[in-house]
């Protein structure tokens, strides 16, 4: 019974690099998402507001495109930064 508790208390060796990578990605994503939010808020606020007022369907489509584009851009940028600085395993 003690061998079961010893084996269950060990940390999987692949867990530590996974958590390190997650922490690094969160540290990179946070500022980038905040920066992106303020850039879009400042530059596209009026346009998005008028689009919402005139056509909610077009606004929904543009919003989805912005969300998907932001996600793809941030993933590419984060992956590049992690590879560039040798932080990705």
Query: What is the count of structural domains for the chain?
Result: 1
Local structure of residue 32 (DSSP, 8 states): H
Which pLDDT band, with edges at 50, 70 and 90, does 7 fall under? low
Stated pTM of the model: 0.63
Residue 66, domain member (yes or no) = yes
Q: Is the pLDDT of residue 33 over 80?
A: yes
- The boundaries of the domain holding residue 29 are 22-84
Looking at per-residue pLDDT, the higher value among 33 and 49 belongs to 49
- What's residue 89's pLDDT? 53
pLDDT digits 0-9 by tens, 39-81: 877 898 899 999 999 999 999 999 999 889 888 988 888 888 7
CA-to-CA distance for 31 and 78, rounded, in angstroms? Answer: 11
Note whether residue 2 is domain-resident.
no
Residue 36 lies in a domain: yes
Average of pLDDT values for 18-22?
80
Residue 60 lies in a domain: yes
Q: Is residue 5 part of a domain?
A: no
In a domain, 79, yes or no: yes
């Amino acid at each position: 019974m003690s061998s079961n508790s010893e084996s269950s208390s060990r940390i999987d060796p692949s867990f530590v690099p996974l958590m390190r990578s997650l922490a690094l990605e969160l540290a990179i994503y946070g500022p980038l998402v905040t920066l992106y939010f303020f850039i879009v808020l400042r530059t596209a606020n009026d346009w998005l507001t008028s689009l919402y007022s005139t056509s909610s369907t077009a606004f929904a489509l543009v919003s989805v495109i912005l969300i998907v584009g932001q996600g793809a851009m941030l993933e590419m940028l984060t992956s590049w930064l992690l590879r560039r600085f040798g932080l990705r395993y």
